Amino acid sequence: MKTINRMVLLLATLFAAIGCSDDDKELVMYSLRFEPNSITLGIGKSYRLVPISDPFYDDVQYEWKSVDERVATVDQSGVVTGVSAGSTEVRAFYGDNRLARCLVSVVESTSSLPDPTAALSKGLSQQMIFSSNQLPYKGTIMQCFDFYDENGYIYYTQSVGDTKTGNRWMVALGRQKRNEAPSDDYMKLQWFGHGTLLVAERADDGDYVWVNSNGTLSGTDYTNNLTFSRIRYQKGAVLSHYAGDTFYMSEYVDAAGTTWTVRDVQPSIDFVNRRLLIGCRTTDMRHNVIYDLDAVLALGKETVEITRTWGGETAAEGVTEKKTETTSVEVRNLNRLTPLGSFRLPSYLNTG
């Protein structure tokens, strides 16, 4: 009888083990949040919330709840829909102890949405100001900034001009620890361009910054970039023209089959949804072209010819002789890819 009982127990244990697959195991999740953590919707309008976990996982099944469904509802894919004017909280749950919250405000119509110009007209608070006096090069122009929460730094670019000629020949790429005194933590990017867009990236082997590269002199500005570079941040480094992993784009084909020849390519990245947006331009249009980031990173490297004009500055670190040269650069060529989508705007929009 004891032998039979042992066999029954053994079979029960075996069946339990077979029925418990890896898919049934709860994922390790240290935190869960929304970005943004507050939204405003018009009645009848919808917005999809995407929980961000640490570490990040794809295809996680969350449990969703709206605290007040009279104000807004949420379906099991995270789509929030405004029902009536008011405020509520939408929550996403994973397991017993991971919860993300988003404040949802619903207004009668989009005309009731907050006017950002009203807030700006009151002036910036002291906490908002990040002035030129805090930066290594006093009085020069900040072009862009970016950050991620984990390391507490703000990364920024400055267009640094030569005071004698007015040439903007260098980008100062710096970082500043929040709530700490200004420091000399910056790099020099010579003849890269303006650094108009900047992307800060956390990687396993350090911090990286994506920024336009291979600027060519036009008047006193370095512009007309056809490349951007992903470079590792290294305090005190001096780089010329380009560095790291370089990406090239001179044209794209839109959904209608029209080929556009563009310049001034600038990167912006959504790492969570794996999207790369390129801002670029033609004479009278600003173009926005969206790619699959993983497809871009999977491109093999090839050599392209880059022609650039540079130099003529009189600063001690500049080059007194103006040069035009054609050089070979190893790149990942976005011209090889079909964009996911694109849209265009006039170069200058009437403020009305």
Residue 116 has a pLDDT of 56
d(CA 235, CA 141): 20
Q: For the residues 186-209, what does the mean pLDDT come to? A: 92
At 222-252, the pLDDT tens digits run 999 999 999 999 999 999 999 999 999 999 9
Say if residue 14's pLDDT is above 60: no
pLDDT in tens, 94-120: 987 788 999 998 988 655 555 556 655
17 confidence band (pLDDT: 50, 70, 90): very low
Beta strands 238-240 and 186-190, pairing class: parallel
Average pLDDT, integer, range 116-131? 56
Q: Is the pLDDT of residue 13 over 50?
A: no
pLDDT at 113: 54
31-110, what's its fold?
Answer: Immunoglobulin-like (2.60.40)
Domain ranges of the chain: 31-110, 153-346
**Band (57; pLDDT cuts 50, 70, 90):** confident
- pTM beyond 0.85: the answer is no
Please tell me which residue, 4 or 103, carries the higher pLDDT value: 103
Which has the minimum average pLDDT: 7-16, 142-151, 168-177, 197-206? Answer: 7-16
- Which pLDDT score, from 0 to 100, does residue 312 have? 86
Is the confidence at residue 156, as pLDDT, over 60?
A: yes
SS3 295: helix
**Residue (of 299, 306, 305) closest to 332 by Cα position:** 299
Say which residue, 134 or 228, is predicted with more confidence: 228
For 47-62, what is the mean pLDDT?
84
Check pLDDT > 80 for residue 192: yes
Lowest-pLDDT range, 73-82, 162-171, 228-237, 256-265? Answer: 162-171
The answer to whether 349 and 307 have CB atoms below 8 angstroms apart is: no
Q: Is the pLDDT of residue 289 over 90?
A: yes
Q: In what order do the strands lie in the sheet with 285-292?
A: 263-270, 275-281, 285-292, 341-346
* Res 104: pLDDT: 92
What pLDDT is recorded for position 213?
96
- 163 Cβ contact list (under 8 Å, min separation 6): 315
How far is it, in rounded angstroms, from Cα 58 to Cα 341?
23
Question: Across the strands, what pairs with 33?
Answer: 52
